[in-house]
């Protein structure tokens, strides 16, 4: 008999086994997991939020998960690997420092505090939460993320083609679908970011190919309903990376046939069947070669040109968070996150954002050295390329729907490396 099974009074006590957890600990772990999965599913649904501050149901779920994870000891400080996590945190620190310092010197320092807290929550708290998950939990999270975006797309198809909705919270007056995102371009962006994750799940054998084809078709059509050129750019960038990594002579020939044949079929056979908003905002610019017909592209170019003229005066300190519109003749923030961060937080903020995003290359390289890891590498590069491309058409990117799809494949890759090392 083990001496630990005897009490100080000499009485026998029930033995405690390592694999048995107290009921309280099991309950706490369950709450943590359910909160995490809920956060992933709702992270792209801005509709479910408070009216007073940008705080969504997903944010609440992430906060609950973080709280229980801290109690349960599941907070990971090396979510992307030690060096890559350090680069991510260093980049985030530069971004926050630039925005905060610039905001303190601006007429509205309170806005700086709000924006800094939003970025901190999105790119640090969520990093810690994701890093504490097991490989199996992260695979489930990837599935839930794709399911969430497919659900958003199905809502758009139903509202536009069944209900005929227009000029609502989910469909704009000109027929553009925004869905639970309530923003057309951002809705298109999360659709584009879901595609590489879908491809990864298929390559891992976690999703049936037929189911994946149906999901991809829904995602692609949902993207057309948004009429977003920015989303289409991200969609093409992600798929292009997959083609590049899997290029063979046979696949190159098939890709050439696809790239030449699909536009021809669309133009001659399917033109009238495409969503009207896509024909007007995207296809018309392609057909005429006049890029000014691509939605609000001309207007955004004016904002970018104006912002470029302010770069030399904002090298050290910017105008302050959310203050670009106050200095702009047009009165709107520039829809280019690199220029916006530079002009509002100085060059240091823009460099911080880029460094933070590029840090996911670390786990992409590490996992490529492990047998079967190239699939994760491709997904990380595809997601990164799509996000960096779409950032050229986006304002501030502190919504939680931005870091989640970027981090899922990177954290999953790091978990796969750890799992391989332990095997």
Q: Is 356 helix (H, G, I), strand (E, B) or coil?
A: helix
Give the model's confidence band at 219: pLDDT under 50 very low, under 70 low, under 90 confident, else very high. very high
Q: For residue range 67-78, what is the model confidence (pLDDT) as tens digits?
A: 999 999 888 888
Rounded to whole angstroms, how far apart are CA atoms 166 and 205?
A: 39
Q: How confident is the model at residue 18 (pLDDT cuts 50, 70, 90)?
A: very low
Q: Which of 365, 337, 364 is nearest to 353 (CA)?
A: 337
pLDDT, residue 19, reads 42
pLDDT digits 0-9 by tens, 341-363: 999 999 999 999 999 999 999 99
List, for residues 235-247, the tens digit of each pLDDT value. Answer: 999 998 988 887 6
Secondary structure (3-state) at 112? helix
pLDDT beyond 90 at 266: no
Q: Answer yes or no: is pLDDT of 47 > 60.
A: yes
pLDDT at res. 4: 44
C-beta atoms surrounding 159 within 10 Å = 18
Q: Which two tokens stand for residue 322?
A: 């959310």
Could you tell me what percent of the chain has a pLDDT over 70?
A: 82
Phi-psi map region of 172: left, alpha, beta (phi>0 left; psi -120 to 50 alpha): beta
| pLDDT value of position 329 | 82
Stretch 39-67: mean pLDDT, rounded?
A: 94
Dist CA 419 CA 401 (whole Å): 27
Task: Identify the CA nearest to 99 among candidates 59, 91, 125.
Answer: 91
pLDDT at 168: 87
- What does the pLDDT read at residue 175? 85
Q: Which residue has the higher pLDDT, 300 or 304?
A: 304
How distant is the alpha carbon of residue 46 from its chain centre? 13
Proportion of the chain above pLDDT 90, given as a percent: 65
pLDDT of residue 22: 52
pLDDT (0 to 100) of residue 20: 44
Residue-level pLDDT at 256: 58
Give pLDDT, residue 300: 79
Long-range contacts of 156-163 (CB under 8 A, 24+ apart): 156/187, 156/222, 156/225, 156/226, 157/218, 157/221, 157/222, 157/225, 160/225, 160/275
Given a contact cutoff of 8 angstroms between Cβ atoms, the answer to whether 95 and 359 are in contact is no
| pLDDT number for residue 257 | 58
Residue in this structure with the two tokens 């907070």, named with its chain if needed? 75
């Amino acid at each position: 008999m083990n001496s630990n099974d005897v009490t100080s009074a000499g009485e026998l006590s029930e033995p405690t086994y390592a694999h048995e957890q107290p009921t309280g600990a099991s309950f706490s772990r369950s709450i943590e997991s359910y909160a995490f999965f809920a956060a992933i599913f709702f992270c792209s649904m801005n509709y479910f939020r408070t009216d007073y501050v940008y705080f969504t149901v997903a944010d609440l779920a992430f906060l609950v998960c973080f709280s229980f994870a801290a109690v349960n000891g599941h907070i990971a400080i090396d979510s992307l690997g030690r060096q890559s996590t350090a680069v991510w945190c260093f980049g985030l620190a530069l971004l926050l420092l630039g925005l905060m310092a610039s905001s303190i010197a601006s007429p509205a320092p309170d806005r700086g505090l709000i924006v800094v807290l939003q970025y901190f929550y999105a790119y640090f708290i969520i990093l810690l939460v994701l890093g504490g998950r097991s490989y199996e939990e992260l695979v489930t999270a990837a599935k839930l993320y794709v399911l969430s975006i497919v659900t958003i797309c199905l809502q758009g198809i139903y509202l536009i083609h069944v209900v005929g909705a227009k000029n609502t919270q989910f469909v704009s007056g000109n027929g553009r679908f925004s869905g639970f995102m309530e923003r057309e371009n951002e809705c298109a962006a999360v659709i584009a970011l879901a595609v590489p994750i879908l491809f990864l799940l298929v390559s891992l054998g976690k999703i049936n190919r037929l189911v994946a084809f149906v999901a991809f078709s829904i995602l692609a059509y949902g993207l057309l309903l948004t009429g977003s050129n920015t989303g289409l750019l991200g969609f093409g960038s992600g798929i292009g990376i997959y083609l590049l990594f899997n290029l063979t002579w046979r696949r190159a020939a098939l890709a050439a046939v696809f790239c030449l044949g699909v536009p021809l079929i669309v133009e001659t056979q399917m033109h009238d069947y495409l969503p009207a908003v896509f024909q007007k905002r995207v296809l018309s610019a392609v057909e005429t070669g006049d890029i000014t017909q691509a939605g609000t592209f001309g207007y955004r170019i004016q904002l970018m040109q104006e912002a470029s003229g302010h770069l030399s005066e904002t090298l050290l300190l910017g105008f302050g968070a959310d203050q670009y519109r106050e200095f702009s003749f047009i009165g709107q923030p520039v829809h280019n996150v690199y220029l916006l961060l530079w002009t509002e937080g100085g060059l240091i903020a823009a460099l911080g954002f880029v460094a933070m995003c590029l840090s996911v290359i670390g786990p992409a390289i590490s996992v490529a050295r492990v047998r079967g890891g190239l699939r994760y590498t491709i997904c990380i590069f595809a997601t990164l390329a799509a996000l960096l491309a779409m950032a050229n058409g986006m304002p501030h990117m502190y919504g939680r729907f931005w870091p989640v799809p970027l981090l899922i494949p990177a954290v999953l890759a790091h978990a796969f490396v750890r799992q391989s090392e332990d095997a």
